[in-house]
Structure 1
Amino acid sequence: MSDETAAALARDRVIDITTTGRRTGEPRRIEIWFHRYDGRYYITGSPGRPRDWYANLVANPRFTFHLKESATADLPATARPITDRAEREKVFAGVLAPLGDFTSRPGNEPEVWVAGSPLVEVTFA
């Protein structure tokens, strides 16, 4: 990994991901935030309705992680869905902490995220 890519992973937040459609097999690209916690990378979505990107990653965990803010790079990656409640609690505590008072607003409490948000750990090839 280049120094530029490593620096972008350390400071950027907004990326695109390209997943493989679970029904169509076609590439699907969306914009999303990623989070860093405890030396690892995660992608999540706000609590609520099911997300196609998550269903696609469950069906086919290989995807492309596209850096696009301070650097441009297409990184092959693999997603690991996090379903264990204790691990989810730990990860959400870490990724939500930098968002400050965001989690004190109704519907944004950490327990709501743990119960109803998609969450994957990202590993790069």
Structure 2
Amino acid sequence: MDMGAFNAEVIRRFRAGEEIEGLHRDRLVLLTTTGRRSGEPRTAPMMFVDFDGDPLVVGSNDGAAVDPDWVQNLRADPHAHVETPDGRRDRAVAEELTGAERQQTWAELVAGFPFFADQQERAGDRVIPLIRLRRCD
């Protein structure tokens, strides 16, 4: 499967307000980061959960041994744009959860979405990042 083409179609359908086959539109956001090497905007569709009114995204990378590019981009420049299913488009600043806050949030996340535990197991020693997208607008 060509993930670039798949993601482009998800982005197109999301922005058009269309249903997205195989995905829950109400659980998706579009996150636009600045490429850490290119300096170009990079948009990725991803699942989110509500975290005190802000989107929280999970850098699971489907259990890969490395963090996804968007996480590395946010670590280089935490400023981003987020588009939510309700049509909001906001500037955001990324905050990676750490310590007890991350542990508690991870436990709650896995209770609701057990597949993340499987992804953490596949990721080995890599701790899957949890990133709050704190809206600035």
TM-score when scaled to structure 1? Answer: 0.70
Change (3 A) 1:103 1:15: closer
Instruction: Give the C-alpha shift of residue 39 in structure 1.
Output: 5.1
State how 1:61-80 maps to structure 2 within 5 Å: 61-67=78-84, 69=85, 71-80=86-95
Q: State the superposition RMSD in angstroms.
A: 2.7
The answer (yes or no) to whether the contact 1:37–1:95 under 8 Å persists in 2 is no
State how 1:1-125 maps to structure 2 within 5 Å: 12-37=26-51, 40-46=54-60, 47-48=63-64, 49-67=66-84, 69=85, 71-82=86-97, 84-99=98-113, 101-102=114-115, 107-108=118-119, 115-125=126-136
The separation in 2 between residues aligned to 1:93 and 1:78, in whole angstroms, is: 24
5+ residue gaps in structure 1?
A: 1-10
Higher RCO (CA 8 Å, separation ≥ 6 residues): 1
Report the number of matched residues: 108
The answer (yes or no) to whether the contact 1:51–1:118 under 8 Å persists in 2 is no
The answer (yes or no) to whether the contact 1:92–1:114 under 8 Å persists in 2 is no
Instruction: Give the C-alpha shift of residue 89 in structure 1.
Output: 1.1
Instruction: Give the C-alpha shift of residue 27 in structure 1.
Output: 0.2
Structure number having the greater strand percentage:
1
Change (3 A) 1:79 1:113: farther
